Amino acid sequence: MSGLIATGCSSGDGERPDGKGSTGTAQGPTKAPTTAPAPTPTALDFTPDPKRAPKTEAEARRLALAVVAGPDAWAPGYVKRTPYLSDPDYWPVLGANCSWETGSRPADVLASVTAYSEIPATGGKGVLRVAATVTVHRTESDADWEMASTLEEALNCPDQKLREGERVTGLMSLGNPFGVGGNATAHDALREGGSYLDDAVKGTQFYSWYQSRLGQVTVATVVKGAPGYQEMGDATTVGTAQAQVQALVTMLQRAEDELEVQS
């Protein structure tokens, strides 16, 4: 699933480009290509500059604020929620009872910023709430551990309480390192999906979390479904994944711009 992130496709939140090739027309079958297909890259085209790597909390927060996706990075119609940015010391922790709680930021995390956006209720649709998170670790290894821990969360707690009156159920996660499953934009990527339930809203909605790692930085986008919205688009409806993937890729591009060696 997460491999679809890297190619700009959706694994569950919006329009999925038609990946089927042409099978021919009335004039005859499709001709074979005259040139060989481009080889699959074996290494990410990204070289971090050690001099640009954040080493202090202040440097890391500046980078996180420069990278995090606001409503403009999602799609037209998204606006800032109130509050818009998370507290600098905010760090969520999944407890042993599979309930999310507020904990202390780990020593290996220099800074973490979450930006909250939404599409207000309109035209009979509910409020669609989304968020983007950037976490700057001290080292690439620390960021890698975060990716592994996130994968395990769905395995250990397929049903999770987000807060009072909100929960997600039936969570499943899948990870793709670079070069696997279509992932060509990040050192590592994962996707987590399930069902979202809000006591204030009738019915069960979808839940989708995408996360990628570039060096010492992880970026994530989350969508909590709402009445009137679909994960998968169809001939008449555009789903939310296109915006979710766009926000994620935008953050990866920004992180690369902040960290790569300048030519």
Return the SS3 of 201.
coil
Greater pLDDT, 150 or 45: 150
Q: What is the pLDDT of residue 239?
A: 76
Greater pLDDT, 62 or 3: 62
Q: What is the pLDDT of residue 1?
A: 33
Q: What is the pLDDT of residue 42?
A: 53
How far is Cα 160 from Cα 169, in angstroms, rounded to an integer? 6
The least confident of 36-45, 59-68, 134-143 is 36-45
Q: What is the pLDDT of residue 7?
A: 31
How far is Cα 125 from Cα 127, in angstroms, rounded to an integer? 7
Q: What is the pLDDT of residue 231?
A: 80
Residue 36 reports pLDDT greater than 50: no
Task: State how far the alpha carbon of 191 is from the alpha carbons of 147, 162, 222, 231, in Å.
Answer: 11, 18, 10, 14
Residue 32 reports pLDDT greater than 60: no
Name the nearest CA neighbour of 171 among 207, 214, 134.
207
pLDDT > 70: percent of the chain:
78
Residue 132 reports pLDDT greater than 60: yes
Residue 46 pLDDT grade (very low, low, confident, very high; cuts 50, 70, 90): confident
Chain-wide mean pLDDT for the chain?
83
- Model pTM greater than 0.85? no
For the segment 171-227, what is each residue's pLDDT rounded down to a tens digit? 999 887 665 566 657 788 899 999 999 999 989 999 999 999 999 999 999 999 999
**Rounded mean pLDDT of 78-100?**
96
pLDDT > 90: percent of the chain:
68
SS (H, E, C) 82-107: EEEECCCCCCEEECCCCEEEECCCCC
Q: What is the pLDDT of residue 185?
A: 72
Q: What is the pLDDT of residue 125?
A: 94
**Rounded mean pLDDT of 223-250?**
85
The continuous run of DSSP H or E covering 171 comes out as: strand 166-177
**Rounded mean pLDDT of 148-156?**
93
For the segment 4-28, what is each residue's pLDDT rounded down to a tens digit? 333 333 333 322 222 223 333 333 3
Residue 149 reports pLDDT greater than 90: yes
